[in-house]
Amino acid sequence: MKEFLRSMATRRWFLKTSGAATLTLASSPSMAQPAAETPPLSTEHVDLTINGRPYALDLDPRTTLLDALREHLGFTGSKKGCDQGQCGACTIIVNGQRINSCLALAVMHDGDEITTIEGLVEEGVLHPMQAAFVRHDGFQCGYCTPGQICSAVALLSESRQGWPSYATADVATAPALTDAEIAERMSGNICRCSAYPNIVAAIREVAGEGSQ
Amino acid sequence: MNPFRYERASDVASACASAARPAAKFIAGGTNLVDLMKLQIEAPAQLVDITRLRLDRIEETADGGLRIGALVSNSAAAADMRVRRRYPLLAQAILAGASTQLRNKATTGGNLLQRTRCPYFYDTSKPCNKRVPGSGCAALEGLNRMNAVLGVSDNCIAAHPSDMAVAMTALEAVVETIAPNGSTRAIPIDELYRPPGDMPHIETVLEAGELIASVLLPPPPAGRQIYRKVRDRASFAFALVSVAAILDLEGERVRAARVAFGGLSYKPWRSAEAEAALVGAPATRATFDAAGAAALQNARGYGRNDFKIPLARRTLRATLTQAAGLA
């Protein structure tokens, strides 16, 4: 396990460094077509706190939070699956709430606090949810996993605040996290390897630890 | 995505003034608009970011209702204990829509103004009068199983996709707006949406730069509230048919009833016909079937969505049966 963590840290260092090198390249969201009312290209200044550290960027306002993280800052843990808010691979936690970063314009999040999958490890130790996904084999190819785990971490926070879901029989009550509740609350994260039973088991285990 | 000018509004007046300009649009949650901009179905020249305006509170009204700020997220509205206790229909409907990630971002005002998910509105290689006025409607003869069967025209059979708005329609919510000149309006939600007619690209009665500030919920009516949604998957899918019902019984008779359908029309479809068939009648399967027949009597299928007509009748019966405590 320690070797695995060391290699992960090295990989993250490499990605961050190589990501920084691409910072000077222009952002180039594709398909920009000149139109009669097209305003001149401009950049907007954006300050973000990511995993506890400040980052300052000048971005084309078309840049999504996902592209800012992946292409401008090298946080490639968050994945681009569908790029239209359907698959959940890009799920990150912004100001304590999980969102699809592919549908968020980075400029609209100036000043926000962001947690990505890279921020869940603390001092080289996996977050309990990451460890539970490993223990329960909550993935196969792994592409959806960073989004699944960020989503699951936020799910526990929502549950602690007593949020109901569509699976809750009486929405005026704060329901226990049954498998049906977990499945409903995770429906924004698709896993095409279909590791769903093990994902639910991992979340159930961490939820149970928290309630003891 | 086309380039656009970005403006972060700091007050309502300047936001409205900016958004009144040609090709300008408000943006809040952005979960629908950003998606459509990537596909170049929407191509605003200017985006007015209203997320810093203080329209994110839920307040009690003097008469026992609630005023939900336009920027209250769908998640926050569904998690609010006042909504959950007094308007469980609304909490259920919101939770029936989208995923948690989307509901965390999506706002009350934006949910009302989201665009249709008709596949031909999204397919820029096909005609669509809503996307390109005058180009035609590919859904009429196409894969139209998600499309509308009530209140639409041969120019457009798109269905409104919101769950939240269906519950709000049954609750007789009022949409409160502010115009660029500072004037305010209170629009009953049933009058917010324009029938497609021959101008399906104009979807609401809102004027340029007019901002939804809040949605007013009158005090909840007596009776049991239920939202029931039928869809292709158990979660995270748009409605084929949904029913928002409020049923108040006096003994075994219906004292009062409210019925609104989702997935059937260009707007949440309040059915005065169904309500008239229910009030005063015994709460029985025969009455519920009569209400369903009345609600769908003017419905018209377009081929692949013909099934929605009997499905809507059966979904109404199931919802009312549950509301009456007979299930």
pLDDT band (50, 70, 90) for residue A40: low
The answer to the question of residue A93 being in a domain is: yes
- Contact list in B for residue A168 (CB cut-off 8 A) is 95
Of the candidates A119, A150, A174, which is a domain's last residue? Answer: A119
- Contact list in A for residue B6 (CB cut-off 8 A) is 42, 44, 61, 105, 107
Interface with B, mutate which of A58, A155, A166 (most B CBs under 10 A): A166
Interface with B, mutate which of A62, A86, A190 (most B CBs under 10 A): A62
pLDDT at position A42 is 87
Residue that is written with structure tokens 């592919």 in the block: A102
Q: Reduce the secondary structure of A27-85 to three states and give it as a string.
A: CCCCCCCCCCCCCCCCCEEEEEEECCEEEEEEECCCCEHHHHHHHHCCCCCCCCCCCCC
Are A151 and A104 within one domain?
no
Of the candidates A77, A94, A119, which is a domain's last residue? Answer: A119
The answer, yes or no, to whether residue A22 has pLDDT greater than 50, is no
pLDDT at position B169 is 99
- Contact list in A for residue B56 (CB cut-off 8 A) is none
* CA–CA min distance A3, chain B (Å): 34
Task: Calculate what percentage of chain A has a pLDDT beyond 90.
Answer: 78
Are A80 and A140 within one domain?
no
How many other C-beta atoms can be found within 10 angstroms of the C-beta atom of residue A1? 9
Under an 8 A CB cutoff, do A64 and B34 touch? yes
Positive or negative: CA dihedral B266, B272, B275, B277: negative
Under an 8 A CB cutoff, do A62 and B4 touch? yes
pLDDT in tens, A130-186: 999 999 999 999 999 999 999 999 999 999 999 999 999 999 999 999 999 999 999
Buried residues in B56-76 as b, exposed as e (16+ CB within 10 A): bebeeeeeebbbbbbbbbbbb
pLDDT at position A28 is 41
pLDDT band (50, 70, 90) for residue A38: low
CATH of residue A183's domain is 1.10.150.120
The mean pLDDT of B147-174, rounded to a whole number, is 98
Provide CB contacts within 8 A for A149, sequence distance 6+: A117, A120, A127, A129, A130, A133
pLDDT in tens, B180-233: 999 999 999 999 999 999 999 999 999 999 999 999 999 999 999 999 999 999
- Contact list in A for residue B31 (CB cut-off 8 A) is 85, 100, 103
The answer to the question of residue A137 being in a domain is: yes
Tell me whether residue A40 is exposed, middle or buried, using C-beta atoms within 10 angstroms of its C-beta: 0 to 12, 13 to 18, 19 or more.
Answer: exposed
Are A98 and A138 within one domain?
no
Tokens of B193: 């949406």
A3 against B260, higher pLDDT: B260
pTM of the prediction? 0.93
- Contact list in B for residue A105 (CB cut-off 8 A) is 6, 27, 30, 34, 47
Residue type, B298: N
The answer to the question of residue A33 being in a domain is: no
pLDDT at position A39 is 65
Are A159 and A115 within one domain?
no
The answer to the question of residue A172 being in a domain is: yes
pLDDT at position A19 is 40
Are A136 and A160 within one domain?
yes
The DSSP annotation for B133-158 comes to TTS-BTTTTSS-TTS--BS-BTTB-P
The answer, yes or no, to whether residue A41 has pLDDT greater than 80, is no
Under an 8 A CB cutoff, do A164 and B40 touch? no
Are A203 and A132 within one domain?
yes
pLDDT at position A209 is 80
pLDDT at position A30 is 41
Query: For A187, which of B3, B47, B236 is closest by C-beta distance?
Result: B236
Task: Calculate what percentage of chain A has a pLDDT beyond 70.
Answer: 80
Are A133 and A189 within one domain?
yes
The answer to the question of residue A39 being in a domain is: no
pLDDT at position B246 is 98
Are A97 and A9 within one domain?
yes
pLDDT in tens, B5-59: 999 999 999 999 999 999 999 999 999 999 999 999 999 999 999 999 999 999 9
Task: Calculate what percentage of chain B has a pLDDT beyond 70.
Answer: 100
CATH of residue A113's domain is 3.10.20.30
The answer, yes or no, to whether residue A21 has pLDDT greater than 70, is no
The answer to the question of residue A54 being in a domain is: yes
The answer to the question of residue A74 being in a domain is: yes
Are A193 and A172 within one domain?
yes
Under an 8 A CB cutoff, do B3 and A32 touch? yes
d(C-alpha B139, C-alpha B119), whole Å: 8
How big is chain B by its Cα radius of gyration, in Å?
19
- Contact list in A for residue B37 (CB cut-off 8 A) is 62
| Closest CA relative to residue A70, chosen from A144, A11, A18 | A18
Range of the domain at A185: 128-211
DSSP, collapsed to helix, strand or coil, labels residue A173 as coil
- Contact list in B for residue A61 (CB cut-off 8 A) is 4-6, 47
* CA–CA min distance A135, chain B (Å): 26
The answer, yes or no, to whether residue B154 has pLDDT greater than 80, is yes
The answer to the question of residue A40 being in a domain is: no
Total count of domains within chain A = 2
Residue in chain A lying closest to B32 (CA):
A103
Are A72 and A157 within one domain?
no
Of the candidates A119, A150, A175, which is a domain's last residue? Answer: A119
Are A60 and A105 within one domain?
yes
* CA–CA min distance B122, chain A (Å): 12
Average pLDDT, chain A: 87
pLDDT band (50, 70, 90) for residue B327: confident
